[in-house]
Amino acid sequence: MTESGMLPGVPHLRSIGEVAELVTAVSPLYVRFSAGPVADAATVSRDHESGCLLPGLSVNPLTPEPWWDRQLEHWLARQLWQYAHLQSPERYPWALTGEIAGRGPDCEPLLVGTTTVASIDRSVVDEAATMYSRVFRAGADGR
């Protein structure tokens, strides 16, 4: 991995538009914020609060649910921005596929048999934040 989160042998996505193109070509597609697939393969996944072992890697869906009736880019902005707090100098977003082995404590999919599909530039998370603030009513609770 390079400093910007680029992974050898897979595309490096630099915009939400490029992520959207990938989602239309590969489904289901997920995002993970971590030190990357090599680091993840060398460790055991745990729930940080309980200490319980998890049966797979904690991910979030980039492929929208069937009920989503808005632009794909809006779904992607929401998914990337909602989990941006997981990004750090050591952790970056990357796209993967795999089989769901269960659900984590926040009901997130836990994947096994993963395949790395792309790295996602950190600037895409910034783009997601801008789009999110423009197209969503952050904090609206439906009352």
Strands 109-120 and 30-34: unpaired
pLDDT in tens, 17-26: 999 999 999 9
Kindly state the average pLDDT of the residues 58-74: 97
Average per-residue pLDDT for the chain: 93
pLDDT in tens, 1-43: 444 578 889 999 999 999 999 999 999 999 999 999 999 998 8
Q: Does position 62 have pLDDT exceeding 90, yes or no?
A: yes
Give CB contacts under 8 A, 24+ apart, made by 37-44: 37/7, 37/94, 37/96, 37/114, 37/116, 38/1
What is the pLDDT confidence band of residue 137, given thresholds at 50, 70 and 90?
confident
Q: Give me the pLDDT at residue 4, please.
A: 58
Q: Does position 55 have pLDDT exceeding 80, yes or no?
A: yes
pTM: 0.92
Kindly state the average pLDDT of the residues 94-113: 96
